[in-house]
Amino acid sequence: MKENINQKIAKIPFWMLYVISAFIITFDLVFTYFFLSANSHAREGNPLNAYLASIFGLNYFLILIPIVMILLFAAAKLGDWIISTFYKQSQIKGDNHVLVAVILLTFSNILFNEVFVLLFDIKPMLSFKNVLIIGMLLMGVYITITEIADSKSK
């Protein structure tokens, strides 16, 4: 029988997805720190990060890295616990499912803003709101596809 998306994602080692999502988030925080340090006229697009950076200074972005890594791990394991506890018949591997959703949510910001700034030396292409919408759409499509595959497998 042909494997569905949930079975394929379940085969990916957790640590690999964790490292990918941790790299994306760390790259974003480090890039933001250096970009804002080098460009005093620039400002952070994420309103929450902009507010906290105004209170704690730019080092806030570097201090946030270990906190986010712990929260990312905890969110993945919480997602796994919720799915395994409440949806026992599901083929969805909760921790991998959460990490893929995080990767899809954050990757559009890295691609459209930070990679283009580094490669082409241009200002960021999209606002925080626009990359958030793209990320939410990607995540929504992914969750919908996995839920459809999960319901068909029962």
| pLDDT one-digit tens code per residue, 47-93 | 788 888 888 888 888 999 999 999 999 999 999 999 999 988 888 89
- Confidence band, pLDDT 50/70/90 cuts, at residue 104: very high
**What are the sequence ranges of the domains in the chain?**
5-152
CA distance 115 to 111: 5
- Confidence band, pLDDT 50/70/90 cuts, at residue 1: low
pLDDT at 89: 87
What digits encode the pLDDT tens for the residues 29-50? Answer: 898 888 888 877 777 777 788 8
34 to 60, 122, 140: CA distances (angstroms)? 12, 15, 31
pTM: 0.87
